[in-house]
Amino acid sequence: MELTLFDLDNTLLNGDSDYAWAQFLIDQGVLDRAAYEVRNLEFYGQYKAGTLDIHAFLDFQLAPLAKHSRTQLDAWHRQFMQETIEPMVAKHARALIESHRVRERTLAIVTATNTFITGPIAAHLNIPHLIGTEIEEIGGRFTGRSKGTPSFREGKIARVEEWLAGAGRTLAAHHAVWFYSDSANDLSLLEIVSHPVAVDPDDRLRAIAQERGWPIISLH
């Protein structure tokens, strides 16, 4: 069995969907610019520096979802997809995805970004499986809290194993596993797959990939 895993933000996308969603809500007047924009930038900077407290970020990022109906959120997301995400898809992302699909490998996105944001993106890219941070939902409304293990850093390994276990499989049972990522935050998962690939990597991941002889590619 062969498995291909893709990080999403700054890998298949030429940008960060988490950050872009908050900026979209600010631009729509849903979030107060003065209150949210600086904090959004701070969290994004922490992510790039490898110092992000994922739980503090999720408290910040998920809270606005609890204030609006799912109908309204879905309407905003459709606009977000058209105006922000579709132009953000990396130039060569689809060709890479298809190169694995034609070889009949199992394809999945593995991202720290929550599944409300990323579900329609995975569908747009025609990737059948999505492992993202789950959001608690009660009575058809988001509570503003995450659910389960966030798929961030080592949590990505836990969530991949959990997903595979649901199908009676394990990561180790696959004789070939590819993982494409831009970020040193994903080093723990990159280190355990058979085919780690650095995609337009940050400086830390580029240095590690060069040292270890991992492929470095650009999709942008």
Q: Which residues make Cβ contacts (< 8 Å) with residue 173, sequence separation at least 6?
A: 1
In CATH terms, the fold of domain 2-217 is: Rossmann fold (3.40.50)
Tell me, what's the pLDDT at 120? 98
Is residue 7 part of the annotated active site? The answer reads: yes
Tell me, what's the pLDDT at 48? 86
Q: Which residues make Cβ contacts (< 8 Å) with residue 110, sequence separation at least 6?
A: 5, 6, 7, 131, 132, 151, 156, 159, 160, 179, 189
Q: Which residues make Cβ contacts (< 8 Å) with residue 93, sequence separation at least 6?
A: 12, 13, 125, 219
Tell me, what's the pLDDT at 201? 98
The domain segmentation of the chain, as residue ranges, is 2-217
CA dist 168 and 162 (Å) reads 10
Residue identified by tokens 């990080």 is 7
Residue identified by tokens 């799912």 is 70
Count of CA atoms in the C-beta half-sphere (13 A) of 155: 18
pLDDT averages per 10-residue partition of the chain, 220 residues:
97 96 94 89 90 91 93 98 98 98 98 97 98 96 95 97 95 95 98 98 97 97
Question: Residue 114 forms beta bridges with which residues?
Answer: 133
Tell me, what's the pLDDT at 178? 98
Angstrom CA distances, 84 to 52, 81, 112, 164, 213, stand at 24, 6, 19, 32, 35
Options 7, 182, 186, 202, the catalytic residue: 7
Options 9, 18, 186, 202, the catalytic residue: 9
